[in-house]
Amino acid sequence: MIAVAVLILLAALLAALHSLMRKQPDRRSLWRTALYVGVGTGVARAALASLGWYMMEHTGGPLQIPAFALAMMAWPEGAMLDERRLTPVPPAFYIQLSVLLIASTLAVSCLVAVIATKSRFGRVRM
């Protein structure tokens, strides 16, 4: 049930982003919006996910519940960096995770911008 709600919320957010980008007057402002939204959302996602991951490994008790919810934002990218270990992750892991989160969020934003450009202007010219 929760997975269905998350998918519906994700689809609504992507539709809202597409609608926002279609309202831009020209290509330059559309791509600027895609860059700002992608990097801004990626940085927020990276900060919250890294904080959650850190709290998951270094705290105990009731603080792990919200930390787990924050760390779930990084599961797809965190799986790419998975190393077998028994100790907490090194600081370089958080940097790599943050770069992957920002890059993947920016890629999704640019993909929506390509679709919005195609539907608004007819052809894609970058």
pTM, two decimal places: 0.85
Kindly state whether residue 67 falls inside one of the protein's structural domains: yes
Which H or E run includes 81?
none
Query: For the chain, how many residues are written?
Result: 126
63 in a structural domain:
yes
In a domain, 75, yes or no: yes
Query: In the structure encoding, which two tokens stand for residue 54, read together?
Result: 């850190």
Dihedral, CA of residue 94, residue 100, residue 106 and residue 110, to nearest 10:
180
- Report the alpha-carbon distance of residue 115 to residue 22 in Å, rounded: 9
Q: How many CB atoms lie within 10 A of CB 100?
A: 19
pLDDT of amino acid 80: 84
In a domain, 126, yes or no: no
Q: How high is the pLDDT of residue 119?
A: 85
Using alpha carbons, list the distances in angstroms from residue 39 to 31, 59, 67: 12, 29, 23
Number of domains in the chain: 1
* pLDDT per residue rounded down to tens, the chain (126 residues): 778 988 999 899 999 999 999 888 888 999 999 999 999 999 999 999 999 989 988 888 888 888 888 888 888 888 888 766 677 888 888 999 999 999 999 999 999 999 988 888 776 665
CB 63 within 8 A of CB 55: yes
Instruction: Report pLDDT for 1.
Output: 76
Q: Which structure tokens are listed for 13?
A: 């957010």
* Confidence (pLDDT) at 77: 84
At residue 126, the pLDDT reads 57
* Residue 93 belongs to domain spanning: 2-121
